Amino acid sequence: MDPFTRRQFGRLSLAAAIAGAGQVAGVFPALAQGANPIRIGFAMALSGGLAGNGRATLLAYQIWAQEVNAKGGILGRPVQLVFYDDQTQPGLVPGIYTKLLDVDRVDIVTSPYATAMIAPAMPVVMQRNVTFLTIFGAGVNEAFKYDRHFNMNVVGDDMKETYAAGYFEVAAMLPTPPRSIAIAAADNEFAQKAGESARYHARKRGIRVVYDRSYPPSTVDFTPIIRAMQSARPDLVFIASYPPDSAGMVRAANELRFTPAIFGGGMVGTQLASFQSQFGPLLNNLVTWDVYSPEPTMNFPGVAAFQAKYRELAPREQTDLLGNYIPPYAYGQMQALEQTLTRVGKIDQAAMAADMHAQEFDTIVGKFRFSALGEWAEARNLYVQFQGITDNDLERYKRPGAKVILAPSAYKSGALRTPYGAAG
């Protein structure tokens, strides 16, 4: 694939934006009809609490659309993204999806980011029997059981069984088998499910839970939580948190010099450039859940080229500078859509769903299949460890060695260092 310059991309983006805006406003309907594009519609959090990841996802989609159009489109038709800002307000989502399907008459719909925004779109999509590609949902289809739902997330069907399994694989690498664990989880759907998985695996392995608490999302001072954990003297600490809480936990653990053998868990936020740049060496030996790391074991074809483009555009789009979290998966989601459309040869919702259930997809985040519920048939929850971080420079996160993969074994790229808090 030919690389393109920022100026070229800027021109193409401008043209796409004008065409997109014209389509939405009805200014250039004739132009759009003449090109007969495949219209992909979605809501995305471009403002509000989830905007950070929402904007990164949108940028990945735009890069994909630009590349596909440069190659001549899909089935000989260009692709066009029709999207609206859901403002991270679930109440706006049903209206947006109704407009996309009934007024804009898009050909295909993909989801907003993430669970709380995906769920309100599901009834609208189900009513019209449309194939629905979602991104980073957590068990949304357990309630709806919609057979045309396909979720791009490494978690898999059974989060309780799969999510924390890798963490305990890492714990088994300790020279002395761990005997106790402390668990703290935020009061939200994702964190509670993650905490449940940790509890389940601890029980399964005979590890005593010496601290197990939830905390409200509005918590700002994490010192009491860390101090309480510290007094319980656990070998392992599993924290399931969202970005602001993850930051508070890491800061409190360092201030109180808390040094369990393994500290980490399902800490969302540690995957983002802003977090890594802010905390630098404080992250050394932290073991956390992740979805991607630029290690040799994950060097899938195309991912490096995508990230190079993404990183060139990210500063201007004011989104995550590294693109090591959602962007490769958002791009991979669109690749899966492209592969399905190419195989089916037309836009047929039933045939597309049947194809997605039956076939394997080969994307920049690797090969995968979808299960009956539309989750990844084989979960791939990574547990990585920050190693050798000496400063706040983000360049190191573009190379192998900074986020070493410890589990699952198929992707392992280094050895566990312990305890947390020791110099990396």
Partner 1 sequence: MSAAGERSVEAVGLDAPRAAVPKLLAPSPHHALFWLCAVLLGAALVVGLRLIGNEYGYFAGYFILQYIVLSSAWNILGGYAGYVNFGAAGFMAAGAYTAIALRKAFGLDLLPGIVAAGFVAGLLGLGTGYLTLRLRGVFFSIATLCLAVVLQTLIVNWDYVGGSRGAYIVRPREVPPFVSYGEYMFVVMLVLAILAVGISRTVELSRLGRGLQAIRDNERAAEAVGVPTLRLKLIATTLCGALMGVAGAPLPYYSGYLNPEAAFSLAYAVNAIAMPLIGGAGSWLGPVIGAVLLGGLQQAATVTISSALNLWIVGWMLVIFVALFPRGIIGWFRRRA
* Residues near partner 1 (CB under 8 A): 24-25, 46-47, 51, 83-87, 89-96, 98-99, 101-103, 116, 119-120, 122-123, 126-127, 140, 143-144, 186-189, 192-193, 214, 216-217
Q: Strand runs (DSSP E) across 270-324, as ranges?
A: 287-290
Give the list of residues 6+ apart from residue 279 with CB closer than 8 angstroms, or none.
247, 250, 251, 392
88 three-state secondary structure:
coil
Chain position carrying tokens 């312990």: 418
3-state secondary structure 334-378: HHHHHHHHHHHCCCCHHHHHHHHHHCCEEECCEEECECCCCCECC
Give the shortest CB-144-to-partner 1 separation in angstroms.
6
Query: Smaller CB distance to partner 1: residue 94 or 302?
Result: 94
Instruction: Note if the bond before 419 is cis, omega within 30 degrees.
Output: yes
Rounded (5°) CA angle 135-140-145 = 115
Query: Smaller CB distance to partner 1: residue 44 or 202?
Result: 44
Q: At what angle do helices 6-25 and 51-70 cross, to 10 degrees?
A: 100
Query: Smaller CB distance to partner 1: residue 115 or 381?
Result: 115
CA-nearest of 375, 312, 424 to 142 is 375
Give the shortest CB-78-to-partner 1 separation in angstroms.
19
- In DSSP terms, 39 is beta-bridged to 80
Query: Smaller CB distance to partner 1: residue 103 or 372?
Result: 103
Structure tokens at 255: 């201030």
Q: Where are the alpha helices (DSSP H) in 26-50?
A: 29-35
Query: Smaller CB distance to partner 1: residue 188 or 385?
Result: 188
Structure tokens at 295: 């290690």
Query: Smaller CB distance to partner 1: residue 159 or 298?
Result: 159
Give the shortest CB-348-to-partner 1 separation in angstroms.
21
Query: Smaller CB distance to partner 1: residue 128 or 233?
Result: 128
Q: At what angle do helices 51-70 and 326-344 cross, to 10 degrees?
A: 40
Query: Smaller CB distance to partner 1: residue 93 or 287?
Result: 93
User: Residue-wise over 176-188: b if at least 16 C-beta within 10 A, else e?
Assistant: eebebbbbbbbeb
Give the shortest CB-315-to-partner 1 separation in angstroms.
18
Give the shortest CB-94-to-partner 1 separation in angstroms.
6
Give the shortest CB-316-to-partner 1 separation in angstroms.
14
Give the shortest CB-87-to-partner 1 separation in angstroms.
7
Give the shortest CB-195-to-partner 1 separation in angstroms.
11
